[in-house]
Amino acid sequence: MTTEFTFQDNAAKNASAGHLAAGALAAGHLPDDAPIFDTEKMSISMGPSHPSTHGVLRLQLELDGDNVTHCEPVIGYLHRGDEKIAENMTYNQFVPYTDRLDYLAPLANNVAYAIAVEQLAGLKVPPRCAAIRVLVAELARISSHLLGFGSFAMDTGAWTPFLYQFTEREKLYTLFEELAGARFTTSYTRIGGVARDLPEGWLQRVGGFCDQFLPRLEEMLAMLTRNKIFQDRTVGIAVISKEDALAYGLTGPNLRGSGIGFDLRKDKPYSGYEQYEFDVPVGSTGDCYDRYLCRGEEIRQSVRIVRQVIKTMPDGPWYAADTEEARRIFAPRKDKVLTKMEELINNFMIVTTGPQIPPGEAYFEAENPKGALGFYIVSKGGGVPWRMKIRSPSFCTLSILPKICKGAMMSDLVSILGSLDFVMGECDR
Partner 1 sequence: MTAASTAASTAAPTVVSVAASTAVLTAAPVSISAATAGGIVAALREKFPQDADKITPRASADHPAINIPATAAVAILTHLRDAHGYDMLADLTAIDWAEGASPRFTVVWHLLSVASAPDASASGTSASDAHAKPGSYLRVAAGCANDAEPEMPSVAAIWPGANWHERETYDMFGITFTGHPDPRRILMWDGYPHHPLRKEFPLAGVEGELPDPEVAAETKTKLIAAPMAGGPFVASSGGLNIGENEPRAKDESWNENAEKPKAEGLKG
Partner 2 sequence: MVTANKEATYNSAIEGDIVVTRLDAVINWIRANSIWPMPMGLACCGIELMAAGGARFDISRFGAEVMRFSPRQSDCMIVAGTVTYKMAPHIRRIYDQMSSPKWVIAMGACASSGGMYRSYATMQGVDRILPVDVYISGCPPRPEAVLDALVKIQDKIRREPSGRALFKEENKG
Window 320-379: residues binding partner 1 (CB under 8 A): 320-322, 333, 349, 352-354, 356, 358, 360-365, 372, 374, 376, 378
Q: Residue 330 binds what, of partner 1, partner 2, none (CB under 5 to 8 Å, by partner type)?
A: none
Q: Residue 408 binds what, of partner 2, partner 1, none (CB under 5 to 8 Å, by partner type)?
A: none
Q: Rounded distance, CA 246 to CA 259, Å?
A: 11
Closest by alpha carbon to 220, among 168, 172, 281? 168
Q: Residue 108 binds what, of partner 2, partner 1, none (CB under 5 to 8 Å, by partner type)?
A: none
Q: Which amino acid is at 77?
A: Y
How many CA atoms, within 13 angstroms, populate the side-chain half-sphere of residue 245? 24
Closest by alpha carbon to 332, among 345, 120, 110? 345
Count of positions on this chain that bind partner 1 (CB under 8 A): 92
Q: Residue 382 binds what, of partner 2, partner 1, none (CB under 5 to 8 Å, by partner type)?
A: partner 1
Query: Binding marks (x or -) toward partner 1, 133..172, rule CB under 8 A?
Result: ----------------------------------------
Task: Pick between residue 102 and residue 155 the one whose CB is nearest to partner 1.
Answer: 102
Closest by alpha carbon to 264, among 193, 362, 364? 364
227 phi/psi in degrees, rounded to 5: -80, 125
Q: Rounded distance, CA 356 to CA 286, Å?
A: 45
Query: Binding marks (x or -) toward partner 1, 192..211, rule CB under 8 A?
Result: -----xxxxxxxx--x----
Is residue 76 involved in binding partner 2 (CB under 8 A)?
yes
Q: Residue 56 binds what, of partner 2, partner 1, none (CB under 5 to 8 Å, by partner type)?
A: partner 2
Instruction: Tell me the three state secondary structure of residue 114.
Output: helix
Judged by CB under 8 A, the stretch of 81-89, 123-131, 213-221, 284-292 that binds partner 2 is 81-89
User: Using CB under 8 A, which residues numbered 377 to 406 contact partner 1?
Assistant: 378, 382-384, 386-387, 389, 391, 395-396, 398-400, 403
User: Using CB under 8 A, which residues numbered 386 to 425 contact partner 2?
Assistant: 424-425
Cβ(169)–Cβ(146) under 8 Å? yes
**53 DSSP assignment:** G
Alpha helices in 313-392 (DSSP H): 324-327, 334-339, 341-353
342 sits in the region (left: phi over 0; alpha: psi -120 to 50; else beta) called: alpha
H-run or E-run covering 146: helix 127-155
Closest by alpha carbon to 387, among 68, 25, 87? 87
Is residue 323 involved in binding partner 2 (CB under 8 A)?
no
What contacts 202, CB < 8 A, 6 or more positions away? 175, 178, 179
Among 120, 224, 238, 294, interactor with partner 1 by CB under 8 A: 120
Is residue 48 involved in binding partner 1 (CB under 8 A)?
no
Is residue 118 involved in binding partner 1 (CB under 8 A)?
yes
Residues that bind partner 2 (CB under 8 A): 48-51, 55-56, 76-81, 84-85, 96-97, 99-100, 103-104, 147, 163, 166-167, 169-170, 173, 183-185, 424-425
